[in-house]
């Protein structure tokens, strides 16, 4: 068995010089410190994304992206296709876990200031991937064409529509018209399975390439320690095996969630029905949704909803551009303002999400 794998390795090595890659990976080290556990959440996000791609492709074999057939095709997948229920349930749960893992990854990078020079591009690609993750979630939510998804999309696109000047064209572009119809479903389907994955793959490749090229960032307080004090572990196989261990744990969690809490299909969307009571967006949009509910209808001369959307836009932009305004961290100095800002954001998001969940 061992000789067979050796022969296979040699065969490939003759052609693509695998030795160079193994040598590179063998020389690659990952820092060990009290924050090392956060390093694995990037890998977990990657693993969940891979699951999304595989289960998504399997769902595509049966899914029909039209107003008349979408709901029925998902019903067919769940009721008739062998293990269809499991594939759909894993796809839905993995989507949520992906966003959760990406959030944790983002905040760990933020608080360890791993975005600082020279990793600005890695941070930016990561942030755009997170936004694309929201896009995946928002577009994928509508695809079963059920009642909740229909009205949540209506509310979500309505919010996009309040953005001054460009809001209305964005709304019409997203919906494929004035209202949420079969045209919206076709658009969301196209975005979900073609446009977003295409862009995401390019960004992911860049992100991973940069991580490999630049290595793992170390927290500020440890980065200035002399080389002999710093602890490291080889990327291959130690770190990779630990990554694999986390992936197995996540896979187990995912399997339990998918079997014990199968994702429901609900009722088919009916444009003429009244919206069900207490309609809410997915949990990762809940803090924004709840905030908009608290903002008064008019603040001075500005419409409350417009103000909310503008504030989120400015706040999001400020967050994304943190590597460019946090010069101190790039110089290796502590910047407590960034920490307080981050803690404020985390508390705010948690609090509003809980409030949104409970009300």
Residues that bind another protein (CB under 8 A): 75, 78-79, 85-86, 233, 237-238, 241-242, 244-245, 248-249, 251-252, 255-256, 259-260, 262, 265
Phi, psi of 298 (to 5 degrees): -135, 130
CA 25 to chain CA mean position, Å:
27
DSSP line for 279-332: ----GGGHHHHHHHHHS-SEETTEEHHHHHHHHHHHHHHHHHTHHHH-HHHHTT
DSSP state of 262: P
| Structure tokens given for 86 | 């499991």
- Nearest residue (CB) to another protein, 252 versus 339: 252
For another protein, which is the closer residue by CB, 209 or 256?
A: 256
Alpha-helical (H) ranges within the chain are 2-16, 18-26, 40-60, 70-79, 84-111, 120-142, 147-161, 167-175, 182-190, 196-214, 220-223, 240-260, 286-294, 304-320, 322-325, 327-330, 336-358
Rounded least distance, CB 292 to another protein, Å: 34
138: exposed, middle or buried (Cβ count in 10 Å: 0-12, 13-18, 19+): buried
Q: How far is the CB of 147 from another protein (least distance, A)?
A: 15
The least CB distance from residue 234 to another protein, in Å, is 10
Residue 92: CB minimum distance to another protein, A: 14
Least gap, CB of 85 to another protein (angstroms): 7
What is the smallest separation between the CB atom of 313 and another protein, expressed in angstroms? 41
Those residues with Cβ within 8 angstroms of residue 237's Cβ, 6 or more apart along the chain or in another chain = none
> In whole angstroms, how close is the CB of 233 to another protein at the nearest point?
8
Shortest Å distance, C-beta 91 to another protein = 16
Would you say 80 or 334 has its CB closer to another protein? 80
In whole angstroms, give the CA distance from residue 172 to residue 184: 9
CA dist 25 and 19 (Å) reads 10
Token pair 């961290």 in the structure block, residue: 329
Minimum CB distance to another protein smaller for 159 or for 265:
265
* Cβ-based nearer residue to another protein, 251 or 310: 251
Give the Cα separation of 297 and 294 in Å (integer).
9
Q: Which is nearer to another protein, 260 or 301 (CB)?
A: 260
- 135 close to 145: Cβ distance less than 8 angstroms: no
Between 238 and 291, name the residue whose CB sits nearer to another protein: 238
DSSP state of 247: H
Closer residue to another protein (CB): 81 or 121: 81
């Amino acid at each position: 068995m061992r000789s067979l794998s050796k022969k296979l390795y040699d065969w490939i090595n003759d052609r693509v010089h695998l030795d160079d890659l193994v040598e590179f990976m063998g020389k690659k080290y990952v820092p060990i410190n009290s924050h090392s556990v956060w390093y694995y959440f990037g890998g977990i996000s990657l693993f969940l994304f891979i699951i999304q791609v595989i289960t998504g492709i399997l769902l595509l074999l049966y899914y029909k992206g039209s107003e008349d057939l979408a709901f029925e095709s998902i019903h067919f997948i769940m009721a008739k296709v062998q293990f269809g229920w499991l594939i759909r349930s894993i796809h839905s749960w993995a989507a949520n876990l992906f966003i959760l893992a990406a959030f944790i990854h983002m905040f760990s990078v933020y608080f360890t200031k791993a975005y600082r020079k020279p990793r600005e591009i890695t941070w930016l690609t990561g942030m755009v991937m997170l936004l694309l993750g929201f896009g995946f979630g928002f577009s994928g939510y509508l695809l079963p064409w059920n009642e909740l998804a229909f009205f949540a999309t209506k509310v979500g696109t309505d919010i996009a529509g309040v953005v001054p000047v460009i809001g209305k064209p964005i709304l019409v572009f997203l919906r494929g018209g004035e209202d949420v119809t079969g045209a919206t479903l076709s658009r969301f389907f196209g975005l979900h399975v073609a446009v977003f994955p295409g862009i995401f793959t390019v960004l992911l490749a860049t992100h991973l390439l940069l991580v490999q090229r630049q290595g793992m960032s170390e927290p500020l307080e440890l980065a200035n320690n002399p080389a002999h004090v710093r602890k490291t572990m080889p990327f291959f196989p130690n770190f990779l095996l630990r990554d694999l261990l986390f992936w197995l744990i996540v896979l187990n969690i995912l399997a339990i969630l998918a079997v014990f809490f199968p994702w429901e299909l609900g009722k088919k969307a009916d444009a003429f029905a009244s919206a069900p009571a207490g309609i809410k967006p997915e949990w990762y949009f809940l803090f924004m949704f709840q905030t908009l509910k608290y903002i008064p209808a008019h603040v001075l001369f500005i419409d409350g909803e417009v103000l909310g959307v503008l504030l989120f836009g400015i706040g999001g932009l400020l967050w994304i551009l943190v590597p460019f305004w946090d010069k101190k961290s790039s110089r290796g100095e502590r910047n407590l303002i960034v920490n307080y800002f981050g803690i404020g954001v985390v508390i705010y998001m948690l609090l509003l999400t809980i409030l949104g969940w409970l009300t």
